[in-house]
Structure 1
Amino acid sequence: MISKKMTEALNGQINKEMYSAFLYMDMSAHCTYVGLNGFANWFMVQYQEEMSHAMKIYDYVNSQGEKVVLNAIEKPPGNFGTPLEMFEATLKHEQFITASIHGLVDLANEEKDYATQIFLQWFITEQIEEEANDNEMIAKLKLVGKDGNGLFMIDKELEARVFNPPAKE
């Protein structure tokens, strides 16, 4: 069983993860619209990952005998600019999510909620991977600059990304 304060914080994180999914779905739609289908695929896989993160927390809250409370999801900005600008925005967003996860860990530590501390370790590791992926894409996009051929090659590379759901615990 987890505290009401922890339950509220985890419910807030579900909302943040669902917003992340919504944001990445919107970015995917934008990329499709401008003809960057590989980038669209990358962001759609990101959407699936974020939804799986939300569901992982959803399942945990339920498993602890607490009530999941869903809130409205904010509308994404909708104006994304270049692929480089999109990945810079993605990194900034993932850094926000990382800080939020760290806040949950801090709360779990304060409350001596060892089960939630253990549960959240998966998310800490996941956020390290998320930020590394974004930094890698930013580096590649800066390397090719405005070279259309380089952008085309990255777009083709991103078409191969597939969603791998996290393992059930």
Structure 2
Amino acid sequence: MASKTFHEMLADQVEIEFSASQQYIAVAVYFDSQDLPQLARHFYRQSLEERNHAMMMVQYLLDRNIPFTIPGIPDVRNDFGTAKEPIALALAQEKEVTGNIEALFRAARDQNDPLGEQFMLWFLKEQVEEVSSMTTLLNIAERADNLFDIENHLARESVGDAGRDPSAPAAAGGAL
């Protein structure tokens, strides 16, 4: 079986980014339903970031005149037993995306696509921040005596860059 091209892999990553966005909405709604507004706000913002990442990839594919389709997404998880579960899910999701982004970078390099390689550099940097901030949040959740300790941490501390990186690629239709 022939391996996928960088552009095919990038089109596949659009689905993964939209799926991550939708999963973060489900996590945010879970926290909202538990009257945990700081956690809900954090994950609503994360959802927008993931949506923007998908739209950055869409814009890149449009700019390179690469044919692709906007995919549907699989169902997301909505039920959680504890507040730690959705945070652990988010960390696992970010680690998986990091592996995908690394594979995309390698594919661009292997296929002698310097524009693709350069495009993926920003996402590599972004994934370091994403995994780090989600690791910190899970560590706080594991050490917290109660859920309000996590809420207070999020109210007090800046976790991640909230998608405000001026070096970010353009998103199709504009970043939200």
Q: TM above 0.5, one fold?
A: yes
8 Å CA contact 1:109–1:117 kept in 2: the answer is yes
Q: Which of the two has greater helix per residue?
A: 1
1:54-93 superposed Cα distances (whole Å, 9 cap, x missing partner): 0111000110011231111111011133222221111101
Partner of 2:153: 154
Computed over aligned residues only, the root mean square deviation of the Cα atoms, in angstroms, reads 2.2
Partner of 2:174: none
* Residue range with higher mean Cα deviation, 124-133 or 99-108: 99-108
Partner of 2:74: 74
Q: Which amino acid aligns with 1:154?
A: H
- Quickly say closer, same or farther: Cα 1:106–1:128, change in 2 above 3 A: same
- Quickly say closer, same or farther: Cα 1:59–1:92, change in 2 above 3 A: same
Partner of 1:101: 101
Counterparts of residues 1-169 of structure 1 (less than 5 Å):
5-145=5-145, 147-154=146-153, 156-157=155-156, 163-167=162-166, 169=169
Q: TM-score, normalised by structure 2?
A: 0.84
Please report how far the alpha carbon of residue 160 of structure 1 lies from its aligned counterpart in structure 2 after TM superposition.
9.2
What SS does structure 1 have at the residue aligned with 2:88? helix
Unaligned runs of 5+ in 1: none
8 Å CA contact 2:37–2:151 kept in 1: the answer is no
In 1, distance between residues paired with 2:34 and 2:74?
24
Q: Which amino acid aligns with 2:152?
A: M
Q: TM-score, normalised by structure 1?
A: 0.88
